[in-house]
Structure formats: structure tokens, C-alpha cells
């Protein structure tokens, strides 16, 4: 198991391969692969070794099935190939995102349907936040379009109206800025909760 606290206890010390606080990967916990590689790269930073440098690292790490000297990039590539699902899961999946969206019919989630709204936002958020990490494979605009495509048109308009009012106040100095996916999710939840609290269709302009 990756132990970040233990490994980071001395930021100026590069542990030997078999020290207790050396980076360690347990193949029964493949979901920790990204943290393991992150720790190795941090160790190389402390050792002032650029991650892309063609330096043999076999004295510190061993590549599965290969005890010959290898560069870090060779080691990293082989490990990721051995655990592709763990690696893709950590980075998010565009295919999974599309699959989530396809599970909801277009334009059907109404402002009163908080259960489906919150369920959709939770499912999308897991993938979107990973896919937005540089190098991003998704834009905020694409994520927002995916979310809005599943909402009732009146609900969508009320979210945009809510955001527009908030946006003018918060970003008057730079009107060219665009809202993020997180901001749209928060706005959708707020509009839905306001509706639930007031239960007044006429106030929000919704038809019965």
C-alpha cells in the first residue's frame, strides 16, 4: 500500500530500494498505481533527476519480469501496460462518460427530479474531474453540454438565468470569462433546492 505520510517524512532523503519508507506498489491494490508512480517521480526530483532523462534506475526499482537496467520511462511504460485498467480508471474514461450520458434520456430531468439530477451529477463528476486534469481530454464546455442535454429545457434556462445573475456580480470586470462545469453543477443543485423549498411554480415560471 502506498504510504504518502511515511514516505514524505524526510523531503531531502531518497530512500534505498528496501527501506520501509521507499515507494512500494502492492499489485492487490492496482488503484494505487498512479500514487506509486507519483512517489517515484517525486523521489527523482529530490535526486535532481529529470523524469524524462535517459538514466538507468534499476538500482532503485525493478521492472516486472525484467531485471536488466532500464530507464524510468521504460519502467513506467511497462507497469502501465501491465495494469491498463487501473491506469485508465485513475485518468477517467471518455467512453465511461458517454455511457453515463446515454443512460439518461435527453431533456427529461425536471427541476423537481432531484434524485435523478443529483445521481447524474455525481456520476458525471467522477469522470469529468479526472478528464479535466492536464493534458485534458475534455473541456468544461463539453462537460456542461453533456449535463444540460439531459435536463428539461425550462430547467436548463433557469440554470442559465441563475448563473447569469451570479456571473454579472462576480465577474463584472471580465465578462469574457466562462462558467466551469462545477459552477453549472452547483447552479443546477441550487435551482432545484430553491424549487423544492418554495414549491411555487409561478415564482420560477415553470408550467404545471
Q: Can you state the angle between helices 140-148 and 181-198, rounded to 10 degrees?
A: 30
- Confidence category of residue 9, pLDDT binned at 50, 70, 90: very low
From CA 82, how far away is CA 208, in angstroms rounded?
Answer: 55
In the three-class reduction of DSSP (H, G, I as helix; E, B as strand; rest coil), residue 48 is classed as coil
Query: What pLDDT does 92 receive?
Result: 75
Contact 121, 158 (CB under 8 A): no
Task: Tell me the whole-structure pTM to 2 decimals.
Answer: 0.56
**pLDDT tens, 136-193?**
889 999 999 999 999 999 999 999 999 988 765 555 455 455 789 999 999 999 999 9
Contacts of 93 (CB under 8 A, 6+ apart): 127, 131
Contact 58, 71 (CB under 8 A): no
**pLDDT tens, 80-136?**
788 776 666 667 788 889 999 999 999 999 999 999 999 999 999 988 988 998 888
Amino acid at each position: 500500500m502506498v504510504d504518502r505520510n511515511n514516505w514524505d517524512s524526510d523531503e531531502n532523503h531518497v530512500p534505498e530500494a528496501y527501506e520501509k519508507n521507499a515507494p512500494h506498489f502492492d499489485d492487490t491494490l492496482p488503484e494505487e498505481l498512479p500514487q506509486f508512480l507519483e512517489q517515484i517521480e517525486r523521489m527523482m526530483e529530490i535526486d535532481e533527476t529529470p523524469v524524462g532523462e535517459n538514466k538507468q534506475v534499476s538500482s532503485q526499482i525493478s521492472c516486472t519480469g525484467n531485471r536488466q537496467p532500464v530507464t524510468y520511462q521504460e519502467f513506467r511504460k511497462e507497469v502501465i501496460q501491465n495494469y491498463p485498467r487501473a491506469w485508465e480508471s485513475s485518468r477517467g474514461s471518455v467512453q465511461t462518460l458517454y455511457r453515463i450520458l446515454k443512460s439518461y434520456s435527453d431533456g427529461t430531468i425536471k427541476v423537481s427530479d432531484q434524485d435523478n439530477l443529483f445521481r447524474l451529477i455525481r456520476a458525471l463528476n467522477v469522470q469529468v474531474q479526472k478528464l479535466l486534469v492536464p493534458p485534458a481530454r475534455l473541456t468544461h464546455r463539453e462537460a456542461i453540454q453533456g449535463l444540460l442535454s439531459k435536463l428539461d429545457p425550462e430547467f436548463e434556462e433557469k440554470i442559465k438565468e441563475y448563473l447569469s445573475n451570479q456571473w454579472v456580480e462576480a465577474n463584472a470586470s471580465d465578462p469574457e470569462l466562462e462558467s466551469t462545469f462545477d459552477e453549472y453543477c452547483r447552479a443546477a443543485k441550487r435551482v432545484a433546492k430553491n424549487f423544492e423549498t418554495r414549491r411555487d411554480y409561478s415564482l420560477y415560471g415553470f408550467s404545471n
